[in-house]
């Protein structure tokens, strides 16, 4: 890339940080970096919020991670969602809601109308309260991520719509000082680990380079692809899940209650979730399959059978959802790390990871992004202790 092109792409005089991946985690990192006055470029190959971050349920729970390593991250994420919605006039439809669990058995003929949720009127439902407006909430995740990207851009962040295909390393001693080999640039590869590289930018599919002293991998379930660039990148992959969006009649009485379902059919259990949304639609997700992660979000194909299963389950749980034709059928991948915990922090000099949030990436994206921004600017995350998520534990 010519100097002029490099300058244009990075929004002026170069950037402090390149974030690879425009999902919730990458965008929140860019948002908080830009609010700290840092110049940041988000490189996204398919589209902002094109993957799980645009197709998730958007359910938020304050205390469901209590007692585990992600407790502080989840609680901080819950609080940040409330304050972000207020600060930005809530274009992503944040709201508090009730949450219940119901059990449904297809063989039973009994009909039990749930007490607080009359629209759950299918057979043999038993209700358990899981959350109240004090403890559970929701956002429309695609709107949330795109709005925060715009907010970051209004503070000078740039969006580069390209695929990252490699890392650039100045071979050095790995502690951020001038490298033994000076600034000779190579593309990092699997053998570079042995040389303790200092990462100084990314290579794009166009063959061009984007330089920055710090690079954050926020590639969700595609993070493992970067192992082809640097062997020590954590092996974060994906688990597929489906979702559909239904649009019941306006007078159906479906209220702001999230419903977690234990659904048993011929001895097989499914655990779908139903999220009524403020725009009147009803989002239903669950039902995974083993299809391997394709190279890009644009190549993900939903299974017609799994989407039909979601439609059928929703219709059995609620007569108001019965027989509706989904206006959207889709699939996406949860980012899964080898030990089930997110990887957040520094991997080697100049290279950072923020990925692997499994089923809580929307909830934890603001707290992760804020912690990453602190870590990148001052060397320590002050708002949340992220040491348990050190990506080096996964090498
Ligand atoms: C069905 C379903 C429902 C869910 N519901 C909830 C929920 O209710 N609440 C909750 O908190 N979480 C939920 N989750 C989990 C949540 O969606 C994820 O944890 C979160 O979206 C992950 O965000 P991310 O930014 O890490 O990854 P992603 O959203 O996957 O984003 C990664 C991005 O990186 C880009 N990328 C990858 N490789 C490259 C490259 N080489 N160059 C440039 N760009 C690249 C991709 O195109 C993609 O846009 C759900 C997940 C699923 C599947």
The DSSP result for 178-243, as a single string, is PPTTTT-EEE--GGGGGG--EEEEEEETTS-EEE-SEEEE--GGGGGGGGGT-TTS---EEEEEEE
Please name the fold of domain 1-95+134-236+338-395. FAD/NAD(P)-binding domain (3.50.50)
136 lines ligand 1 (CB under 6 A): no
Q: Which atom of ligand 1 is nearest to the CA of 364?
A: 11
**Beta strand spans in 71-197 (E):** 95-96, 98-105, 126-131, 136-138, 158-160, 164-170, 185-187
Q: Which residues on adjacent β-strands are paired with residue 344? A: 354
238: which 2 tokens?
């994906």
Residue 48: C-alpha distances to residues 143, 160, 386 (Å): 10, 10, 25
pLDDT by residue for the chain (395 residues), tens digit each? Answer: 554 555 445 545 689 999 999 999 999 999 999 999 999 999 999 999 999 999 999 999 999 999 999 999 999 999 999 999 999 999 999 999 999 999 876 655 555 555 678 899 886 567 899 999 999 999 999 999 999 999 999 999 999 999 999 999 986 433 333 332 334 344 554 444 545 789 999 999 999 999 999 999 999 999 999 999 999 999 999 999 999 999 999 989 999 999 999 988 777 888 999 999 999 999 999 989 999 999 999 999 999 999 999 999 999 999 999 999 999 999 999 999 999 999 999 999 999 999 999 999 999 999 999 999 999 999 999 999 999 999 999 99
For the chain, the structural domain boundaries read 1-95+134-236+338-395, 98-132+238-336
Centre of ligand 1 to C-alpha 183, Å, is 35
48 lines ligand 1 (CB under 6 A): no
Centre of ligand 1 to C-alpha 354, Å, is 11
Q: What is the pLDDT of residues 305-347, one digit of tens each?
A: 999 999 999 999 999 999 999 999 999 999 999 999 999 999 9
Nearest CA to ligand 1 atom 20: 361
Mutate to test the pocket of ligand 1, among 22, 53, 358, 364 (most ligand atoms within 8 A of CB): 53
Cα–Cα nearest to 313, from 141, 132, 139, 125:
125
| DSSP class of 389 | G
Residue 53: C-alpha distances to residues 119, 142, 350 (Å): 28, 6, 26
Q: What is the pLDDT of residues 14-62, one digit of tens each?
A: 899 999 999 999 999 999 999 999 999 999 999 999 999 999 999 999 9
374: which 2 tokens?
């602190």
Q: Which residues on adjacent β-strands are paired with residue 104? A: 263
3-state helix, strand, coil in the chain (%, to 5): 30, 30, 45
Residue 363, burial from CB neighbour count under 10 angstroms (0-12, 13-18, 19+): buried
> What is the distance between the alpha carbons of residues 355 and 333, in angstroms, rounded to a whole number?
13
Please say whether the beta carbons of 196 and 348 come within 8 A.
Answer: yes
| DSSP class of 154 | H
286 lines ligand 1 (CB under 6 A): no
Mutate to test the pocket of ligand 1, among 59, 328, 334 (most ligand atoms within 8 A of CB): 334
Which H/E stretch holds residue 120? Answer: none
Cα–Cα nearest to 332, from 28, 110, 58, 93:
58
Secondary structure (DSSP) of 32-53: HHHHTT--EEEE-SS-TT-SHH
| 349: three-class secondary structure by DSSP | coil
Q: Which atom of ligand 1 is nearest to the CA of 138?
A: 8
Classify domain 98-132+238-336 by CATH architecture.
Answer: 2-Layer Sandwich (3.30)
Please say whether the beta carbons of 258 and 61 come within 8 A.
Answer: no
238 lines ligand 1 (CB under 6 A): no
44 lines ligand 1 (CB under 6 A): yes
Residue 133: C-alpha distances to residues 88, 129, 137, 330, 357 (Å): 21, 11, 7, 28, 24
Centre of ligand 1 to C-alpha 335, Å, is 7
Lookup result for tokens 């809580």: 360
Residue 16 sits at φ, ψ, to 5 deg, of -85, -35
Percent of the chain scoring above 90 in pLDDT: 80
Please say whether the beta carbons of 389 and 367 come within 8 A.
Answer: no
**Residue 171: per-residue pLDDT:** 65
Cα–Cα nearest to 221, from 295, 306, 140, 145:
295
CA angle 128, 129, 133 (to 5 degrees): 165
78: left (phi over 0), alpha (psi -120 to 50) or beta: alpha
**Residue 268: per-residue pLDDT:** 83
| DSSP class of 294 | P
Centre of ligand 1 to C-alpha 173, Å, is 34
């Amino acid at each position: 890339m010519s100097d002029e092109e490099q300058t244009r792409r990075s929004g002026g005089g170069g950037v402090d940080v390149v974030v690879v991946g425009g999902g919730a985690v990458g965008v929140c990192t860019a948002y908080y970096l830009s609010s700290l006055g840092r110049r940041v470029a988000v490189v996204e190959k398919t589209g902002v919020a094109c993957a799980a971050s645009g197709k998730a349920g958007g359910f938020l729970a304050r205390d469901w991670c209590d007692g585990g390593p992600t407790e502080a991250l989840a609680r901080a994420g819950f609080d940040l969602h409330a304050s972000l919605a207020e600060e930005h006039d809530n274009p992503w439809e944040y709201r508090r809601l009730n949450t219940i669990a119901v059990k449904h058995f297809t063989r039973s003929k009994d009909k039990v109308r749930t007490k607080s949720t009359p629209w759950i009127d299918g057979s043999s439902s038993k209700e358990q309260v899981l959350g109240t407006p004090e403890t559970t909430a929701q956002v429309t995740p695609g709107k949330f991520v795109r709005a925060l990207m715009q907010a970051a851009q209004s503070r000078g962040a740039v969006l580069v719509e390209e695929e990252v295909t490699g890392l650039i390393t100045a071979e050095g001693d790995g502690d951020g000082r001038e490298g033994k080999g000076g600034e000779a640039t190579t593309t990092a590869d699997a053998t570079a680990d042995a040389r303790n590289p200092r990462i100084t930018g990314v290579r794009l599919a166009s063959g061009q380079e984007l330089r920055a002293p710090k690079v954050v991998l926020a590639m969700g379930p595609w993070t493992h692809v970067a192992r082809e660039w640097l062997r020590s990148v954590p092996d974060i992959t994906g688990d597929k899940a489906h979702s559909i969006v239904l649009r019941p009649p306006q007078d159906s009485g479906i209220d702001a209650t999230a419903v977690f379902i234990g659904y048993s059919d011929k001895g097989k259990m499914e655990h779908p979730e139903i999220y009524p949304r403020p725009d009147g639609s009803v989002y239903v997700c669950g039902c995974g399959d083993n299809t391997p992660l394709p190279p890009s979000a644009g190549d993900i194909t939903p299974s017609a059978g799994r989407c039909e299963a979601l439609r059928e389950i929703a219709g059995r749980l609620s007569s108001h959802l019965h027989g509706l034709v989904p206006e959207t059928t889709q699939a996406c991948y949860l980012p899964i790390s080898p030990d089930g915990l997110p990887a957040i922090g520094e991997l080697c000099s100049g290279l950072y990871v923020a990925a692997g949030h499994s089923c809580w990436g929307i909830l934890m994206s603001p707290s992760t992004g804020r912690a990453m921004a602190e870590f990148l600017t001052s060397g320590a995350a002050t708002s949340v202790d992220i040491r348990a998520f050190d990506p080096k534990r996964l090498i």
